Structure 1
Amino acid sequence: MKRLLLIQCILFSTCMLACNNNEASKTSAAVDSKDEYANSRITTKAAPEWAEMLRHDTGWIGADGIYCTALTGIDKPGQMNDQSETMFWFSDCILGNIDTKADTLKGDWQMMNNSVAYFHGANPDPNKINYYWRRDSVGKPLSMFEPHTPKAPEKSYYWLGDGFMDHAKDSTIYIFAYLIHNVPGGIYPFEDLGVSLIALPKGSRPPYKDQKQFDTPLFFTDAKGKTVFGICVLPNTVGAGAPEPDGFIYVYGVRGMNKELVVARVKDSAFENFNEWRFWDGLSWNTDMHTCAALTDNISNEMSVSFMADGRVIAAYQLKTANTTVAIAAGATPWGPFQPAKKVWETPEAYDDLDFYTYNAKAHPNLSKPGELLISYNVNSFDFLDDIVKHPYHLRPRFISVKY
């Protein structure tokens, strides 16, 4: 009997030990399977609701060159509400009518070099955005902004760059504008000639009869290649809601065939005085724009640099302008150093047609949620004249949301 009890005790103890070991294994497995990077992993998803806001069947039906700013001048995530207003500006805009049954363009269509729009609210809604352009005396559509500076070449037009609201200049909205002329025969049948600056006084509305335009020195060519400033702007000011404001406006440029990122800065109160601008040479800020240091490379001709909550910056761009890859890169300060690029999206629209291409990705911080970036990129076609008729919905920005 004692022997039987001993055997039963041994079996019970063995069973309990096995159960405990099994529970320990489950606990260990649970610990091992816990995703320690769940809150820090970079994830990207399409944001079709923003692209749908820009999809229309009549009138303004598409564009590229999209930039925007909140009319509070606070361009950081999580600031928008139902009463908020955002100003958009676009380049190469199409007016026409789409046959919604066949999804093809019907009748004549017209193209303007730029237009603007005002969006009310925080959530995308095609009924809450209104588009504006000018018309001549017989009703023909005209671009909203046309060059009229002293140095503007004849037959040139504006492709619009980035802009911002300068609270130190009575809430003037400044927009960089590239002087362009057509060069038939190339795969990209146009060429940039210079950079102008458009100033819209506080409260100015279309057609902006009180606008001012300035020639700038922010376009030049030297042994390092062509440099063009105005591709993105970062206001590091109290009015812009910057996390650690220093009172400077940082203006970025693109240089040479390697698409190098360069930067200049100026005090917000002296923005129109180009003698006050300074250029980062890798060690210090100086007056010689030809000494600019490359902060990173392989960027796009339009891009963005915006603040993260911790005071660092994050750049968003399309690799080499018209690559199919959207990338981001973190920077320690507005003048770098920047980390190597991280690829966050492959644009599927580039594969919808052999002639389609995507380009010029950039973030829109004021439309973004905290901890995320809403990023747009453009879609176009090398066979534009044919595809605008067959695929009229393709020429408009697409959007993604990147959580980081």
Structure 2
Amino acid sequence: MKTFLLLLWGFTSQRDTLPDLQHLHYQVAAAPEWNSLFTRSSGWFGGDGIFSIPVNAPDSDSTLFLFSDTMTGHICNGQLQPGSSMIHNSVAILKGKAPLEKNIQFYWNRDHQGKPATLFEPRTPQATPGDYYWLGDGFVNTALHNSTYIFAYRMRNISQKDFGFAEVGNVLIVLPPNSRPPYTRQRQLDTPLLLPADSSTGAGSFGAGIFVNTKAAGAPNPDGYVYVYGVRGQQKMVLVARVLPADIEHFGKWRFWDGRQWNTDIHQAAAVTAHASNELSLTPLKDGRYALVFQVDGMGSAVGLRLGASPAGPFGPVIKIWECPEVKEDKRFFVYNAKAHPRLSKPGELLISYNVNAFDFFQVLPQHPQLYRPRFIKLIFPAQEE
């Protein structure tokens, strides 16, 4: 465990009006109990994503984990067994908040031959055969009968340029209260929250992270809005939208931060910061500041944090809180999509995950069959900064 005192400079002209966005006192350590929970050898044995949201049942203390591309199969004596397969999304439900193997269950679909199949399949008017979903963040909407709203990115395989896929649609999946896998009563809504690339800026999409700033969600300074974060372009610029929970399906009532005010035009959304990742989180700290957690530069080697004055910023400089050791083990490995899990964090701590993957994935996986799973660290704050 290492202790850091960061002395970073900036925002001096606004020193009297902004909180300190430069300094953070903390300790950082691996979270082996959470790493162990997702080190598995049968059934689900790997996946990326891992957003954590409440289960939408009355008085439930359970957590729903959302995964995108998922590996299923068996590992025996460290060897990947024949018959493993990749599906495009899955979920898990953890009873309680402790990382206990006996309390977690993973879910996916089965096809007509009984083989593993993707849990959420595109069913919207804009979907075409061959499209699939990767999952974004989600939340339980207490203003709409405790339905769960989950962002989904409608993906399509293209030529082998870059990674060979592209996002072609942004979708909300709606799960009625008390829903359980396989979610047969789900609804799916096409949204206008995908920004195409233009001559100067790459494509962008919303759903990378959600902060529910409501009294019902226990936010410390609630204003009643749900804040939804987007990421755009190769510089991983962060965009911010907000909407009242009751209006989430009324896209004309969404507002986008343009750098000065909340604007009705999504095309006026301004970057509040950059060098983030396609998945991230925004968490209020007890001292009134906000922690934006992400992977630096999308697939950089460090988990990063920026301190914010509000859910829409301004944000301070990058604080590199953890150098991911996996990238030093093998040059084919990369790390991405760090985010915090406040509902699973102990008092005075903030649990954070990041994903590990590999270039030439299907060639590397037999050599490292448990590579493709989330890793966890925790920030430990001094009592005065919890």
Q: TM-score w.r.t. structure 1 length?
A: 0.85
Q: Distance in 2 between matches of 1:219 and 1:188?
A: 19
1:62 matches 2:46: yes
Cα deviation digits, residues 3-33 of structure 1 (max 9, x gap) = xxxxxxxxxxxxxxxxxxxxxxxxxxxxxxx
Q: Can you give the 5+ residue segments of structure 2 that lack an aligned partner in the other structure?
A: 7-23, 382-386
Q: 2:113 aligns with which of 129, 138, 146?
A: 138
Checking the alignment, whether the CA contact within 8 Å between 2:213 and 2:219 is kept in structure 1 is yes
Larger Rg: 1
Aligned-partner SS, 2:203: strand
The residue that corresponds to 1:209 in the other structure is 184
Cα deviation digits, residues 121-149 of structure 1 (max 9, x gap) = 22211221100111122202111101010
Q: Distance in 1 between matches of 2:180 and 2:378?
A: 30
Q: Distance in 2 between matches of 1:395 and 1:95?
A: 11
The residue that corresponds to 2:299 in the other structure is 322
| Alpha-carbon distance, 1:153 to partner | 3.0
Aligned-partner SS, 2:267: helix
Aligned-partner SS, 1:282: coil
- In the TM superposition, what are the counterparts of 1:332-347 in structure 2 within 5 Å? 332-347=309-324
The residue that corresponds to 1:261 in the other structure is 238
Checking the alignment, whether the CA contact within 8 Å between 2:154 and 2:171 is kept in structure 1 is yes
Aligned-partner SS, 1:389: coil
1:182 matches 2:157: yes
- In the TM superposition, what are the counterparts of 1:366-385 in structure 2 within 5 Å? 366-385=343-362
Q: Distance in 1 between matches of 2:79 and 2:326?
A: 17
Q: Distance in 2 between matches of 1:279 and 1:187?
A: 30
Q: Distance in 2 between matches of 1:379 and 1:391?
A: 11
The residue that corresponds to 2:277 in the other structure is 300
Checking the alignment, whether the CA contact within 8 Å between 1:104 and 1:392 is kept in structure 2 is yes
Q: Distance in 1 between matches of 2:88 and 2:159?
A: 16
Q: 2:286 aligns with which of 301, 309, 321?
A: 309
Aligned-partner SS, 1:191: strand
Q: Distance in 2 between matches of 1:94 and 1:269?
A: 36
Checking the alignment, whether the CA contact within 8 Å between 2:56 and 2:148 is kept in structure 1 is no
| Alpha-carbon distance, 1:70 to partner | 2.2
Seen in structure 2, the aligned counterparts of structure 1 residues 105 and 295 have a Cα distance that, compared at 3 Å, is: same
Q: TM-score w.r.t. structure 2 length?
A: 0.89
Aligned-pair Cα RMSD in Å: 2.1
| Alpha-carbon distance, 1:311 to partner | 3.4
**Which amino acid letter does the alignment assign opposite residue 374 of structure 2?**
P
| Alpha-carbon distance, 1:250 to partner | 0.5
Q: 1:270 aligns with which of 247, 256, 261?
A: 247
The residue that corresponds to 1:148 in the other structure is 123
Q: Can you give the 5+ residue segments of structure 1 that lack an aligned partner in the other structure?
A: 1-34, 75-79
Residue-pair matches, total: 360
| Alpha-carbon distance, 1:224 to partner | 3.0
Q: 2:37 aligns with which of 40, 53, 63?
A: 53
Q: Distance in 2 between matches of 1:310 and 1:362?
A: 20
**Which amino acid letter does the alignment assign opposite residue 278 of structure 1?**
R
Aligned-partner SS, 1:165: strand
- In the TM superposition, what are the counterparts of 1:97-116 in structure 2 within 5 Å? 97-100=74-77, 103-116=78-91
**Which amino acid letter does the alignment assign opposite residue 43 of structure 1?**
Q
User: Percent of aligned positions with the same letter in both sequences?
Assistant: 47
Q: Which consecutive segments of 4 or more residues in structure 1 shift more than 6 A? A: none
| Alpha-carbon distance, 1:343 to partner | 0.4
Q: Distance in 2 between matches of 1:124 and 1:389?
A: 27
Cα deviation digits, residues 271-319 of structure 1 (max 9, x gap) = 1110100111111111011111211110000111111123332100001
Q: Which has the higher helix share?
A: 1
Aligned-partner SS, 2:63: strand
Cα deviation digits, residues 213-243 of structure 1 (max 9, x gap) = 0000000123433121110011111111001
